[in-house]
Copies of this chain bind each other. A is one copy, B any other.
Amino acid sequence: MTDHDRLQIDQTPTPEQGDGDYVTSPEFLDRLDDILDQGDQPGLNALLEKLHGADIADIIEQLSPGRRRLFLELYGAEIDGEILSEIDESIREEVLELLPRHVLADAVREMDSDDVVDLVEDLDDTDRDEILSALDDSDQAAVRQSLAYPEYSAGRLMQSEVVTAPEHWTVGDAIDYMRREEWLPEQFYHIILVDPRRHPIGYVTLGRLLASRRDAVLRDMAEDSFRTISAYAEEADVAYIFNQYHLISAPVVDSDDRLVGVITIDDAMAVLDEEHEEDILRLAGVGDESSISDSVVQTVRQRVPWLATNIPTALAAAAVIALFEGAISQLVALAVLMPIVASMGGNAGTQTLTVAVRGLATRDLSSSNALRVVRREMTVGLINGLVFGAIMAVITFLWFQDAWLAAVIGMAMVINLMVAALAGILVPLALNKLGADPALASGTFVTMMTDVIGFMAFLGLASAVLL
Give the one of A20, A284, A366 with max B CB within 10 A.
Answer: A284
List which A111-150 residues lie within 8 A (CB) of chain B.
148, 150
Decide: A342 near B339, CB < 8 A? Known: A244-B54, A283-B284: yes
A434 sits at the interface (CB 8 A): no
- Bound together, the chains give a CA A1 to CA B150 distance in angstroms of 8
A201 sits at the interface (CB 8 A): no
Chain B residue at smallest Cβ distance from A61: B364
Kindly identify which residue among B64, B269, B283, B364 contacts A268, using a CB–CB cutoff of 8 Å: B269
A243 sits at the interface (CB 8 A): yes
A225 touches B269 (CB 8 A): no
List which A145-163 residues lie within 8 A (CB) of chain B.
148, 150, 163
A45 sits at the interface (CB 8 A): no
List which A286-319 residues lie within 8 A (CB) of chain B.
286, 290-296, 299-300, 303-304, 306-308, 310-311, 313-315, 317-318
Q: Which residues of B contact A101 (CB under 8 A)?
A: none
Q: Which residues of B contact A355 (CB under 8 A)?
A: 281, 284, 286, 290, 292
In the assembled complex, how far is the CB of residue A212 from the closest CB belonging to chain B, in whole angstroms? 7
Instruction: Encode A379-396 as 1/0 by CB contact (under 8 A) with B.
Output: 110011001100110010
List which A317-345 residues lie within 8 A (CB) of chain B.
317-318, 321-322, 325, 328-329, 332-340, 342-344
In the assembled complex, how far is the CB of residue A253 from the closest CB belonging to chain B, in whole angstroms? 9
A462 sits at the interface (CB 8 A): no
Copies of this chain assembled into the complex: 2
Q: Which residues of B contact A69 (CB under 8 A)?
A: none
A75 sits at the interface (CB 8 A): no
A284 touches B8 (CB 8 A): no
A303 touches B337 (CB 8 A): no
Q: How large is the interface on A (under 10, 10 to 19, 20 to 34, 35 or more residues)?
A: 35 or more
B367 touches A24 (CB 8 A): yes
A230 sits at the interface (CB 8 A): yes
B255 touches A4 (CB 8 A): yes
- Bound together, the chains give a CA A86 to CA B81 distance in angstroms of 38
B284 touches A181 (CB 8 A): no
Chain B residue at smallest Cβ distance from A323: B336
Q: Which residues of B contact A279 (CB under 8 A)?
A: 280
Q: Which residues of B contact A458 (CB under 8 A)?
A: none
A348 sits at the interface (CB 8 A): yes
Chain B residue at smallest Cβ distance from A10: B232
6 tightest Cβ-Cβ pairs between the two chains A and B: A284-B354, A206-B206, A276-B276, A335-B335, A292-B359, A24-B366
Q: List 27 A-B contacts (CB under 8 A).
A: A9-B230, A11-B230, A20-B241, A52-B244, A61-B364, A62-B364, A64-B369, A175-B210, A178-B207, A187-B205, A189-B207, A209-B210, A248-B265, A265-B266, A276-B276, A280-B358, A281-B358, A284-B351, A292-B358, A293-B369, A299-B377, A307-B344, A311-B392, A313-B343, A315-B340, A321-B336, A339-B455
